[in-house]
Amino acid sequence: MLSRTADHLFWMSRYIERAENTARMLNVSYETSLLPQSATAAQAGWEGILSISELLPSYLALYKNINARDVMAFMVSDADNPSSIVSCLSAARENARAVRGTLTTEVWETQNQTWLEVNRMLRSGEFERDPGQFFEWVKFRSHLSRGVTLGTMLMDEAQHFMRLGTFLERADNTARLLDVKFHAMNNDYFGSPMEGEAGEAEYDFYHWSAILRSVSGLEVYRKVYRNVIKPERVAELLILRPDMPRSLHASLNEVMANLTLVSPEAGSNTLRHAGKLRAELAYGRIDEILATGLHAYLTQFLDQVNALGGHISREFLLPQVA
Amino acid sequence: MRQFDEMYARLPEGTDVGQVRPHYEAYARWLAAQDPQVMQARREEAEVIFRRVGITFAVYGEKDDGSGTERLIPFDLIPRIIPAHEWTRMEAGLVQRVNALNRFIHDIYHKQEILKAGVIPREQIERNAQFRPEMVGVDVPNQIYSHISGIDIVRAPDADGHGEYYVLEDNLRVPSGVSYMLEDRKMMMRLFPDLFSQHRVAPVAHYPDLLLETLRASSPTTTAEPTVVVLTPGMHNSAYFEHAFLAQQMGVELVEGQDLFVKDQFVYMRTTRGPKRVDVIYRRVDDDFLDPMVFRSTSTLGCAGLMAAYKAGHVAICNAVGTGVADDKSIYPYVPDMIEFYLGEKPILKNVPTYQCRKSEDLQYTLAHLKDLVVKEVHGAGGYGMLVGPAATKAEIEQFRAALLANPEGYIAQPTLSLSSCPTFVDSGVAPRHIDLRPFVLSGRTVQMVPGGLTRVALKEGSLVVNSSQGGGTKDTWILQN
């Protein structure tokens, strides 16, 4: 297939996945903000959202202080912020429109309808009236987008590049989320925990269950561990478990599978990089990762995911031939 | 002015229900039985579907108002119906006309016999900006230049009040609109399936198949499986939807200039599996932008080296380069002569009488009758740069008079034809609005077309301008089979 077509398909999926993850994070912060917490704790939570997306400087250029309303406006409806939900959904639709002939009618109409609807919802004030419902809607449009792809597209290169985009973006987003939330644990995220064992347990529960819920992982956690929520188990679930659909390991498995399908031969440099990255996850252990330091580990992982994106781009999407 | 309505021999007025023409009788009965509220709901449904499907076009020069610069072309629910015997004759006339036009273009770039015979003045060709010296002596497969021709046809009443078809213009460069013909039919069948069980409407959905067959037949190479692509200027072009639609329907790649490159005079596209040879390019990019090495050097829409590959016979370009020399309004008056010259036949379809302002007697006549005439720029298109005398203000007429005097060669004039009307849904109910017709004629191994074409309708009361860029809409076009 045309390299440019593959590029549009890859980015279409990445943008949809990014919109979904942004909605997930915002939703959890929004729900957390409804719990009793100190003003500084609340502000730290919203600041975390901005640092996950590396948007703190551009936010502060527009707004004086960090609060729920402004951060949500910036991350949802600001068309000038390229990472806002409306920007991501527009970019996904623009990419889809550029290759609409490659997509099945149902895939194209899903993207187009999402874009028409998000603009309508923002114009009519539906988002401000009920942010929670809006975030749910974004999540479900993303579910629909993946489902309609699997359900209607020929299982050829086009679909493989779309899946590749989805899972590379997901690996990136989950790693960022973990990094910021583990970092926040050192800060006074939920205000002062109550004294004693019971206080700490409560602190852990709200902090970690929020992270788990943002990746639809709370029920999964219960099922897998059948135990109280502990940070190292959360990290293990989201980094190493191959059966947790939003974990780094599961995402890299999908990246690898789709990359293998589009690679002409086994000697591909891109494939080698992806394979190495996945092997680290497949044979890694959580105690080792925590011993080296989670932040250092995740920073390195994000660099490698970024580099992998570069390899995919150079090998398949924007080849320099003449 | 005398009027001709497609549906009514006598238009309804007040309590008079009018007199319906025989081929519209079944439809008129059906329409009378419909609940107006249901029809209104259908109109809204059609709009929602068109928007969801993304059947839009871009309007040039409009500010982005948040909904993007994408607009819907208004779709009207009342079909334009043509009886079989009228279509049979029109189809024969179209085949004849397009054959002659292809012979003419070949002749102009080779022996120029029509100029030598004095049928067309030489300077009309050589001073024409659409004449491409690069094409002189270049042989193209099957000697076909205009593979896809959009012939605009209007109907106007003759002295007895009978409708007479006229060719208004030939579009031989990159005629567009066929996707609306196909989508309009799809929409009608979705909204009103019962109508199709009551009428024998000739189907049109096989157009993409005929188009692919035509393009494959144009391949210069002997390969059994020629690679066909559609070349688009990109998603910001007003007809982008159509480009994507046709590529998808034919199952071929939709490429942009940046996807192509030329190596050793062969054209390739960049794919995820490396370069792939391209044999036939259905281009929706104007000549000027095709190859920066030959035409406009700043163009990024084409592909450097394309013309060299084309001249070497390694790739087909459809339509061929240089077809504009035959669809110019200054050449239009000679088409009936071409038919006689090349085919030795009498023209089946009529031309609109045309005054060529480069001739002094025609110019004098035009200047004296500006308020009755339609004056058009010779190179104009899309309904821009024209004067509709009866609808113009004094100031507009004087402005055109000055332009005409300054550059008489740049204009032609025609009597203001009262384009036929067809009942159309408007805000106040159903009212007659002026229409035209663009059939799409395909020239490959044979000349063929799907029955009908795109009917455009001027939605403004009294307006004769049907172009989508000027507020025109479309209608489904039915050729009734016997």
Asked if B54's CB is within 8 angstroms of A109's CB, the reply is yes
Residue in B54, B255, B275 nearest the CB of A108: B54
Residue A295 lies in a domain: yes
Structural domain includes residue A35: yes
Read off the pLDDT band of B350 (50, 70, 90).
Answer: very high
Q: Is residue B84 part of a domain?
A: yes
Query: How many CB contacts within 8 angstroms connect chain A with chain B?
Result: 68
The residue-averaged pLDDT of A232-252 equals 95
Angstroms from A1 CA to nearest CA on chain B: 5
Pick the range with the lowest mean pLDDT from A221-230, A258-267, B423-432, B443-452: A258-267
Return the number of other C-beta atoms located less than 10 Å from residue B393's C-beta.
Answer: 8
Q: Are residues B142 and B170 in the same domain?
A: yes
Average model confidence (pLDDT) for chain A? 89
Instruction: Name the residue facing B247 among A101, A123, A322 (closest C-beta).
Output: A101
Q: Are strands B253-255 and B228-231 parallel, antiparallel or unpaired?
A: parallel
Is residue B415 within 8 Å of residue B374, measured between CB atoms?
yes
Distances (CA, A) of A221 to A108, A209, A218, B414: 35, 9, 5, 79
Spatial separation of the C-alpha atoms in residues B464 and B174, rounded to whole Å: 23
Contact residues, chain A, for B259 at CB < 8 Å: 2-4
DSSP state of A237: H
Domains contained in chain B, number: 3
Four-residue CA torsion sign, B33, B36, B38, B44: positive
Pair B284, B376 in one domain: no
Torsion of CA B315, B301, A108, B68, to 10 degrees: -160
Q: Which domain, by its residues, includes A184? A: 3-316
Q: Which residues of B touch A319 (CB under 8 A)?
A: 270, 274
**Are B186 and B251 contained in the same domain?**
no
Contact B11, B18 (CB under 8 A): yes
Which of B481, B482, B479 has its CA nearest to residue B450? B479
Domain-located, residue B1: no
| Final residue belonging to a domain, choices B415, B442, B464 | B415
pLDDT-derived band at A186 (thresholds 50, 70, 90) equals: low
Contact A4 B54 (CB under 8 A): no
How far CA A247 is from CA of A16, A67, A254, A269, in Å, comes to 18, 30, 11, 24
Residue B190 lies in a domain: yes
Q: What is the mean pLDDT of residues B85-106?
A: 98
My answer on whether B153 and B22 are in the same domain is yes
- For residue B360, what is the domain's CATH number? 3.30.1490.270
Distance CA A209, CA A207 (A): 6
- pTM exceeds 0.95 for this model: no
pLDDT tens-place string over residues B377-417:
887 665 667 888 888 899 999 988 998 999 998 899 999 88
Residue-level pLDDT at A322: 45
Q: What is the mean pLDDT of residues B157-175?
A: 91
Sign of the CA dihedral with B384 first, then B387, B391, and B395 last: positive
Which token pair is B385? 């740069």
CB B21 within 8 A of CB B8: yes
Domain contains A321: no
Q: Quick one: tokens of A231? A: 């940070």
A322: in domain:
no
pLDDT above 70 coverage of chain B, percent: 96
Higher pLDDT, A82 or B159: A82
Q: What residue in A sits closest to B248 (Cα-Cα)?
A: A101
> Does B175 share its domain with B255?
no
Percent of chain A beyond pLDDT 90? 69
Whether residue B2 lies inside any domain: the answer is no
**CATH code, domain with B244:** 3.40.50.11290
Chain A closest-CA separation from residue B298 CA (Å): 19
| B100 shares its domain with B193 | yes
| The one-letter amino acid at B459 | L
Looking at beta carbons, which residues of chain B come within 8 Å of A93? none
**Could you report the per-residue pLDDT of B230-279, keeping only the tens digit for each?**
999 998 888 899 999 999 999 999 999 999 999 999 999 999 888 999 99
**Chain B residues touching A316 at Cβ < 8 A:** 272
Could you list the residue range(s) of the whole structural domain that residue B195 is in? 8-220+315-348+418-479
* pLDDT over 50 at B63, yes or no: no
Mutation target among A4, A90, A116 for the B interface, most CBs of B within 10 A: A4
Do B248 and B327 fall into the same domain? no
Q: Do the beta carbons of residue B187 and residue B50 sit within 8 Å?
A: yes
ipTM: 0.77
**DSSP H or E run through A120:** helix A105-123
Chain B CB contacts of A157 below 8 Å: 272
Q: Are B14 and B142 contained in the same domain?
A: yes
The domain total for chain A is 1
DSSP A265: S
Between CA B456 and CA B314 the distance in angstroms is: 38
